[in-house]
Amino acid sequence: MTASEQVDVDGLAELVRGCEDVRARLVLVTDAEGQWRLYHGEVLLDAPDLDTGGEETWLYPAVAFVARRLRGWVVADLLRGKPANIDRFRVFADQQWTHAAADDLHGNQAWTGRTTPWPRTEWTIRRDSTDYRNYGVLVGDTSHPSFLTFDQAVSSFLCRRPHDSRITVDQLWRVIQPRRGAWFRKVTVAPDRLTVDLEGDDLDDVVLELSEPAGSWRLQVEGADSYDFDLPEGLRAESLLIAHRGGKWLDMRHFPAAPYGSARDTSVVWEQPELELELLLADGEGPRLECKREIPKGDPRTRKKMLKTVAAFASQPGGGTILFGIEDDNLEIVGLAEDQSADEQQRQIVDMIRKNLEPAPACHPRVIKHNYKRIIAVDVPGGNQPCAYREGERLEFYVRRGSSSIFASYREIEEGFRLHPGTV
């Protein structure tokens, strides 16, 4: 993702107004006067292949979730702070900011609960982070579900992730525009080559480039097809695969295939899993990687050491990854004992996390085989809200400093709750 750029909200509104219709998902809440106000609006300018469900309305006493195809001019008026009539709702949206942040994201890049197979540009306008109300339990009827908290309902409605307490929404607006000129449908990493399955609506003059510290290789694109890069010595760490034209990138992948702690990039297929493990270990333990020889069992001190690292990863942007089956002092790949099945070992890790951390992060364990040795990698997503380790009646917060997980300071804890009110 490139660094955010600031764009004028009026210019963004004109872009939306130019669309005959758009797909919108709106979260509405009532104010003190009983008027419906926009809490969050997600707008897709052109995404027919993105599953966002059909038209629907979830209505609760003080909260409503509305999914509709709307005229572009209706959403443009809301972006400018003008009220609009949407079915039974008279919706008010304050124009708090004159500028929006614009971010370019590559294909299969996860960002605040959304992933798309193709690259996209997203414009976001942040909401006042202090604006929080407790709406209590949301009880649905036969047409829509019930939720324990407002945040869980938002997660389910926007991200199709029911009861995922790791998803928070701090934007007033999120406008998404696909960029499908050229994009990678699949990238296959083999021991001696890299294969790109390229798709796109405009592939004229597109160049495919694989760049690594020792050099780069380029292929001229001749249409939607599969393209091979021969790699006699295998894929090197910090390689960059990029499609570009006229000095502008269209899609890209950076290796290792996915950032620590994130959901796996489903477009990247590793035909040699050992290579991914070597790339993960290339820089050793640090702010986003922790290694453990074995899964902690009886010793509560060993278990707590692992869990406080998970809490630290979950509380920082980008999260982190824990590798089980790796000596932490010299990074020797020793593998896990196979007296239990891999499924049992993964469940054991996830159960420890769920029972001891609040809120429990949605970890993603997976098995990596290396020379017939079993390694379990646990990817911990992070950055959405503070995560605590429960020690009896006490909640302990941790941060990552280098390769250590240490107690968070009062200032760091206060800052975490200021950015994410109503959590934990």
Summarised one tens digit per residue, pLDDT across range 212-237 is: 888 899 999 999 999 999 988 888 87
- Give the pairing of strands 373-380 and 320-324: antiparallel
- Considering the domain architecture, whether residues 251 and 299 belong to the same structural domain is answered as no
On the question of a cis peptide bond just before residue 145, with omega within 30 degrees of 0, the verdict is no
- Considering the domain architecture, whether residues 193 and 165 belong to the same structural domain is answered as no
Q: Is the dihedral of CA 419, 420, 422, 424 positive or negative?
A: negative
- Considering the domain architecture, whether residues 172 and 187 belong to the same structural domain is answered as no
- Considering the domain architecture, whether residues 131 and 187 belong to the same structural domain is answered as no
Residue 281 sits at φ, ψ, to 5 deg, of -85, -5
CATH of the domain at 241: 2.60.40
pLDDT of 295 higher than 70: yes
Cβ-count burial 61-97 (b if 16+ within 10 Å, e if not): eebbbbbbebebbbbbbbbeeeebebeebebbbebee
Show which of 149, 178, 207 is a domain's final residue.
Answer: 178
42-56, 77-91, 166-180, 194-208: segment of lowest average pLDDT: 42-56
Mean pLDDT on 363-374: 87
- Considering the domain architecture, whether residues 16 and 160 belong to the same structural domain is answered as yes
267 within some domain: no
Mean pLDDT on 359-388: 84
Residues forming a β-bridge with 228? 195
- Considering the domain architecture, whether residues 136 and 26 belong to the same structural domain is answered as yes
Helix (H) or strand (E) holding 165: none
Residue 314 contacts residue 168 (beta carbons within 8 Å): no
Show which of 123, 158, 178 is a domain's final residue.
Answer: 178
CATH of the domain at 288: 3.30.950.30
On the question of a cis peptide bond just before residue 256, with omega within 30 degrees of 0, the verdict is yes
Residue 334 contacts residue 326 (beta carbons within 8 Å): yes
Please give the order of strands across the beta sheet that includes 193-199. Answer: 226-230, 193-199, 183-190, 268-270
Alpha-carbon gap, residue 381 to 261, rounded angstroms: 5
- Considering the domain architecture, whether residues 290 and 343 belong to the same structural domain is answered as yes
239 within some domain: yes
Q: Percent of the chain beyond pLDDT 70?
A: 87
Mean pLDDT on 321-345: 92
Alpha-carbon gap, residue 115 to 397, rounded angstroms: 29
261 within some domain: no
pLDDT band at 166 (very low <50, low <70, confident <90, very high): very low
Q: Is the dihedral of CA 123, 320, 406, 168 positive or negative?
A: positive
Domain that holds residue 333: 277-419
Residues 6+ apart with CB under 8 A from 47: 23, 116, 176, 178
264 within some domain: no
271 within some domain: no
392 within some domain: yes
- Considering the domain architecture, whether residues 304 and 213 belong to the same structural domain is answered as no
Alpha-carbon gap, residue 167 to 384, rounded angstroms: 6
Alpha-carbon gap, residue 230 to 210, rounded angstroms: 10
Mean pLDDT on 182-207: 94
- Considering the domain architecture, whether residues 25 and 154 belong to the same structural domain is answered as yes
Model pLDDT for residues 29-41, shown as the tens digit of each residue: 998 899 999 999 9
- Considering the domain architecture, whether residues 38 and 173 belong to the same structural domain is answered as yes
77-81, 124-128, 388-392: segment of lowest average pLDDT: 124-128
Show which of 222, 255, 288 is a domain's final residue.
Answer: 255
Identify the pLDDT of residue 29: 94
Model pLDDT for residues 248-288, shown as the tens digit of each residue: 999 999 885 444 555 567 788 777 666 678 777 877 888 88
Alpha-carbon gap, residue 254 to 240, rounded angstroms: 5
Here the tokens at position 357 are 């951390």
pLDDT of 132 higher than 50: yes
260 within some domain: no
- Considering the domain architecture, whether residues 249 and 298 belong to the same structural domain is answered as no
424 within some domain: no
- Considering the domain architecture, whether residues 43 and 113 belong to the same structural domain is answered as yes
Residue 200 contacts residue 181 (beta carbons within 8 Å): yes
Mean pLDDT on 285-297: 90
pLDDT of 176 higher than 80: yes
Here the tokens at position 214 are 């020792």
Residue 301 DSSP symbol? H
Here the tokens at position 424 are 């934990």
- Give the pairing of strands 289-292 and 320-324: parallel
Model pLDDT for residues 47-76, shown as the tens digit of each residue: 655 555 578 999 999 999 999 999 999 999
Whole-angstrom CA distances from 93 to 32, 82, 134, 204 are 15, 7, 20, 42
161-175, 207-221, 303-317: segment of lowest average pLDDT: 161-175
The number of folded domains in the chain is: 3
Centre a 10 Å sphere on the Cβ of residue 247 and count the other Cβ atoms it contains: 5
